[in-house]
Structure 1
Amino acid sequence: MSSSTASPPPRLWDISPTVAPNAPIFPGDAPYRLDWTARLSHDCPVNLSAITMSPHVGAHADAPLHYANGAPDIADVPLDTYLGRCRVIHALGAAPLITVEHLQHAGADLPTRVLVRCCERADTVWNDHFTAFAPEAIAWLAARGVRLIGIDTPSVDPASSKSLDSHQQLLRLDLRVLENLVLDDVPPGDYELIALPLKLQGACASPVRAILRELP
């Protein structure tokens, strides 16, 4: 009698921070808040909650509307970019900006999605001095066919930026972006990315439950 052993399922990495009232947010942004509108009891068959929050809390996808009036909101952004093969590149110690030099070591045969880990551990409290992207690095990735970039800090632009040069670079090159990822335990290499935004009409961004799945 022959026997076969089933292959283990592909490993998953959850690269989304927990969304909670104390999640770090840009100063002035709306924090996560949960209220109960109904509670399970003899008179009510369910617990029912309501939430308020900025769509930029936790792991999220920015819509072009976030940095350009009249640009598409998150409900109108095509989903295909947020699903598929991606590469995790380690650029630990890059500060204050991720530059081309931090990416070149992993630049051969890039897939269309690139996530960059620049933190030893993702921040759990607000930090004004997080690492961001140099616009030239975004252009370098786009020239190699990349359509989505991700980062394990709150933004591709520095917290103090008013011109948002890297966001404007995304707009010019029609790239998508994921911010506030948690890549602490993800080795460099290629994975399948699944990070679909919600279809929020008129919104400038959406939370995502971002995961990486081991490739066959």
Structure 2
Amino acid sequence: MKDRKWIDISQPFTPDIASWPGDIPFTFKLSFTKKQTGSVNIGQIHTGVHTGTHIDAPFHFDEQGKQVHELDIQLYAGKARVIDAAGHDKIGKEELEGYNLQGAERLLIRTAKGRDWRTFPDSYTVFRDNIGPYLKEQGIFLLGTDAPSVDAVDSKTLTAHHSLHQNGVHILENIVLDHVEPGDYELMALPLAIEGADASPVRAVLRRLE
């Protein structure tokens, strides 16, 4: 029988996790200790919603787009295909045509190997503006990347975000795929139901399909 344990593909929230440049750094602390309360420890977190492994809601880049609490959670649970496309500065139709994407539905792409999630990268693989139409043609409605964004850190037009959104493809960022073999998996990456939010951290996990 194959090993079908869940594989964690999330960045752990630690004091040294990288945050988007200029964003709120992650912190966790105990507001009250068991010694203070007499019964329990009570903690609090402080973070930007784009820190670590997270989904982008359309509202992130479109004032009229859906917010996190309005998204269909079915998008983030189900069959996913992992591919290794490391070595490209940009990924679009041209780079993906050599991969078998038939029946993928959700596509998770390893764009680099050995990335340190504790350091925001100086550069990372971004996506071309033809990525949305091409994935739609393939029947894919979720794109996951191990990079912090589908667009460059200094982009103001966010062409990849808009290309994906206009073609019904949702976005999962900052996944960790170094320890995952290419193939078909079951994905669970459910966002928190944060009302009004433009993004949400997720605990993303995979399990190999039979």
Which TM-score tier does this pair reach, normalised by the shorter chain? over 0.9
Which amino acid is the alignment partner of residue 147 of structure 1?
F
Which amino acid is the alignment partner of residue 58 of structure 1?
G
Matches within 5 A, 1:171-210: 171-210=165-204
Offset at residue 108 of structure 1 (A) = 4.1
What TM-score do you get using the length of structure 2 for normalisation?
Answer: 0.94
What TM-score do you get using the length of structure 1 for normalisation?
Answer: 0.91
Offset at residue 43 of structure 1 (A) = 4.5
Does structure 2 retain, via aligned residues, the 8 Å contact 1:89–1:103?
no
Partner in structure 2 of residue 104 of structure 1:
97
Q: Does 1:156 align with 2:150?
A: yes
Could you list the per-position Cα deviations for residues 18-58 of structure 1 after superposition, in whole angstroms to 9, with x for gaps in the alignment? Answer: 11232112211111111211101275200000111001111
Matches within 5 A, 1:1-216: 7=1, 10-41=4-35, 43-95=37-89, 97-124=90-117, 125-216=119-210
Structure 1 gap ranges (5+):
1-6
Instruction: Give the match's secondary structure for 1:61.
Output: strand
- CA radius of gyration, larger in: 1
Offset at residue 102 of structure 1 (A) = 2.4
Does structure 2 retain, via aligned residues, the 8 Å contact 1:123–1:153?
no
Tell me the percent identity. Answer: 37
Structure 2 gap ranges (5+):
none
What is the root-mean-square deviation of aligned Cα atoms in Å? Answer: 1.5
Instruction: Give the match's secondary structure for 1:105.
Output: coil
Could you list the per-position Cα deviations for residues 139-175 of structure 1 after superposition, in whole angstroms to 9, with x for gaps in the alignment? Answer: 2111111000000010000112110001111221122
Relative distance call for 1:42 and 1:207 in structure 2 (3 A) is closer
Which amino acid is the alignment partner of residue 102 of structure 1?
E
Which amino acid is the alignment partner of residue 68 of structure 1?
D
Which amino acid is the alignment partner of residue 62 of structure 1?
D
Could you list the per-position Cα deviations for residues 56-91 of structure 1 after superposition, in whole angstroms to 9, with x for gaps in the alignment? Answer: 111000011100113211011001110111111110
Could you list the per-position Cα deviations for residues 84-105 of structure 1 after superposition, in whole angstroms to 9, with x for gaps in the alignment? Answer: 111111101011x112232222
